[in-house]
Amino acid sequence: MDESSASGRMNHYEKGRHTPDISTLKKMADALGVPLNYFFCEDDTSAELACLISKLGDDERKKLIDHILSDRSKDCDSLPKDSFRKASL
């Protein structure tokens, strides 16, 4: 993104006059040091989780998924454990 037009473009995005395409969003995410899905979070908690999860390695992410699923299965013993994993992936 050309620096001379960046401020004006950001203003248009903020006011809803234009919507950035995915490649522009990716560049913005990279510049801000956040994951792409950050822009699609509906609340601050989800945005914070997206940032934290993006910093984890693959093994740590899998452990986190397993931990969440094991906690969820305590609440939902009647549902198969794989249904959460398939729905979340």
Q: Report pTM.
A: 0.65
Shared-domain flag, residues 61 and 50: no
Residue 36's pLDDT is what? 97
Residue 37's pLDDT is what? 97
* pLDDT higher than 80, residue 1: no
Residue 89 and residue 86: Cα distance in Å, rounded?
5
Q: Residue 18: which pLDDT band, with cuts at 50, 70 and 90? A: confident
User: What residue numbers bound the domain in which 76 lies?
Assistant: 57-89
Q: Residue 20 sits in a domain of what CATH number?
A: 1.10.260.40
Q: How many structural domains are present in the chain?
A: 2
Shared-domain flag, residues 51 and 64: no
Mean pLDDT of 39-52: 96
From the list 8, 51, 31, 86, the residue with the least C-alpha distance to 40 is 51
Half-sphere exposure of 29 (CA within 13 A, CB side): 19
* pLDDT higher than 70, residue 84: no
